[in-house]
């Protein structure tokens, strides 16, 4: 049963996937992306009354991946500290993908959010899109009395620790015909030792470290306890409406 649609809202469907291998999530994301582009093409010159169909096909996917390291299109392979053989021994997958950004890790305890959006329904500004994704996480952290910050020349969300900055969320996107894919990776209860296999996001500067929500709060936080709050902040930032499948 579909929700009542508010015509001025940005409409999306939400999907949550747990304990998923990267290839399965990647295939699902590509399917949603291609479908949205296809529907957008067919309805480009349609009447205003039929364009609501296109709006209903935006998607938000929250994944909790099995261990995987992904290398973005601008990433450098020498930012991988381990051989692919060593990764396989530790049951860590490795993929080269088409998102922006460098190298990162996804795994248990982390929310990887994929935003498959027709940005022409919002704005045609990729930099604003990245800033809005950061804003979602900043508002999410504010709920826990944690001040998330943006750093000049670095995407993502950081926490100022006085003598260092700790990154809690990485961001990387890809657009084709203004339809986005990929998104963000937010550390909730992530085992940060897995980042030792890489130079995270290619940043190898002193005082630039990693953290998680659990580490900042000093207690274990579970994805299922915070996922709805994160989705709520996404709805706020994009002035969006979730449509039930």
Which residues pair with residue 12 across a beta bridge? 58, 242
Q: What is the C-alpha R_g of the chain?
A: 18
Nearest-angstrom CA–CA distance, 36 and 54:
7
Active site residue 201: yes
Residues 6+ apart with CB under 8 A from 245: 13
- For 5, 26, 30, 142, 171, the CA distances from 102, given in Å and listed in that order, are 38, 17, 20, 27, 10
CA distances from 171 to 75, 158, 216, 223 (A): 13, 12, 20, 18
| Backbone dihedral region for residue 225 (phi beyond 0: left; psi -120 to 50: alpha; all else: beta) | alpha
Query: Which of 201, 223, 231, 234 is flagged as catalytic?
Result: 201
End-to-end CA distance of the chain, in Å?
7
Q: How far is CA 216 from the centre of its chain?
A: 20
Find the largest Cα–Cα distance for the chain.
57
Residues annotated catalytic, as ranges: 201
């Amino acid at each position: 049963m579909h929700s009542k649609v508010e015509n001025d809202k940005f409409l999306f469907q939400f999907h949550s996937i747990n304990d998923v291998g990267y290839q399965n999530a990647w295939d699902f994301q590509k399917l949603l992306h291609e479908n949205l582009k296809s529907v957008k093409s067919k309805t480009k010159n349609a009447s205003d009354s039929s364009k609501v169909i296109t709006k209903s096909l935006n998607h938000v996917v929250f994944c909790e991946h099995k261990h995987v390291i992904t290398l973005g299109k601008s990433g450098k392979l020498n930012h991988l500290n381990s051989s692919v053989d060593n990764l396989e021994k530790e049951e860590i997958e490795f993929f080269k993908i088409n998102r922006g950004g460098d190298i990162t890790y996804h795994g248990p305890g982390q929310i990887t959010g994929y935003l498959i959006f027709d940005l022409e329904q919002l704005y045609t500004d990729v930099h604003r899109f990245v800033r809005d994704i950061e804003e979602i996480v900043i508002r999410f952290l504010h709920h826990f009395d944690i001040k998330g910050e943006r750093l000049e020349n670095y995407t993502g969300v950081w926490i100022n620790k006085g003598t260092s900055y700790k990154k809690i969320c990485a961001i990387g996107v890809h657009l084709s015909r203004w339809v986005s894919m990929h998104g963000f990776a937010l550390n909730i209860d992530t085992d940060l030792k897995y980042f030792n296999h890489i130079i995270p996001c290619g940043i190898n500067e002193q005082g630039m470290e990693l953290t998680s929500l659990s580490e900042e709060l000093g207690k274990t936080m579970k994805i299922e306890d915070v996922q709805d709050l994160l989705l709520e902040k996404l709805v706020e930032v994009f002035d969006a409406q979730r449509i039930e499948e």
